[in-house]
Amino acid sequence: MPSLKNTPLVDQVYCDIKRRIITGDLGPDEKLNVRSLCEYYEVSDTPLKQAMNRLVSEKLIVAYPRRGMRVMNFTSKDIHEAIEARIMIETYAVPAAIRASKVSNDIIRMLEENVTEDERLIRENDISAYSDITQKELETSQEFHLIIVRSLNNSTITNAYTNIMNHRYVYYQSGSNKTHQALASVIEHRQILERLKAGDEEGMKAAIIAHLKAREYDVASVR
């Protein structure tokens, strides 16, 4: 396990198990043995179980009563349902985002900064395989959507939305080069932003739907 200076042990274990799942070292539907993992990381079961419970909450691990835990196996149905839920939540948030943009320029400024930073990360780095910089790019891309959803000012919806985004890790489980898709995503984010600036509710909804369906195709195509 890589040592992360000044990082709590549970966070180190969490980060490394997550990395191993995303890169395929721990494969889809693989059973996770607590004792074996404790020996691998040279830790007690307390930090290990805490780390695994975090991954359960992120839906990268599935817990089965009396049967232990397994790595999540994303099916085409899982991906479709996640995209369907994201479309429902994001399009619902569009009127709130437009209202917020008319009260203050903050939401537009945050989205513009986000798109600029996301494109910089893609163009200046190799994101074809999972790494720390890839994780940062993914989080930046996801933040674009979260900014829109947060305009609802509803923490329950925001938390639910956050928990359905991990289907994007399928890119790396399957060893797919996602640089082209990531750049296409940035272009689509800019289109959504332009519709927001114009106060075009239906146009913004249509841009969001087109964007998420394109990303569904990208993810599903590597299954």
Which pLDDT value is given to residue 86? 95
Residue ranges covered by each domain of the chain: 9-71, 76-220
Provide CB contacts within 8 A for 84, sequence distance 6+.
Answer: none
Please give the Cα distance from 184 to 69 (Å, whole number). 36
CATH code: domain 76-220 is 1.20.120.530
Q: Hey, which residues does 31 pair with through a beta bridge?
A: 70
Residue 184: how many other CB atoms lie within 10 Å: 15
Please give the Cα distance from 145 to 161 (Å, whole number). 9
Please give the Cα distance from 160 to 165 (Å, whole number). 10
Burial class (CB in 10 A: 0-12, 13-18, 19+), 86: buried
Residue 127, helix vs strand vs coil: coil
Where in 26-91 does DSSP place strands (E)? 31-32, 61-64, 68-71
Residues, the chain: 223
pLDDT digits (tens, 9 = 90+) for 68-83: 899 988 888 888 898 9
Which pLDDT value is given to residue 1? 53
Most confident of the ranges 6-15, 155-164, 185-194: 185-194
pLDDT digits (tens, 9 = 90+) for 164-209: 887 777 766 655 667 888 899 999 999 999 999 999 999 999 999 9
Please give the Cα distance from 22 to 74 (Å, whole number). 12
Please give the Cα distance from 64 to 29 (Å, whole number). 12
pTM of the model: 0.84
Burial class (CB in 10 A: 0-12, 13-18, 19+), 53: middle
DSSP tag of 71? E
pLDDT band per the 50, 70, 90 thresholds, residue 220: low
Residue 2 has pLDDT above 60, yes or no: no
Looking at residue 201, its amino acid is: E
Which pLDDT value is given to residue 121? 97
Provide CB contacts within 8 A for 197, sequence distance 6+.
Answer: 101, 108
Please give the Cα distance from 25 to 214 (Å, whole number). 28
Q: Which fold has domain 9-71?
A: Arc Repressor Mutant, subunit A (1.10.10)
Percentage above 70 pLDDT, the chain: 91
Looking at residue 22, its amino acid is: I
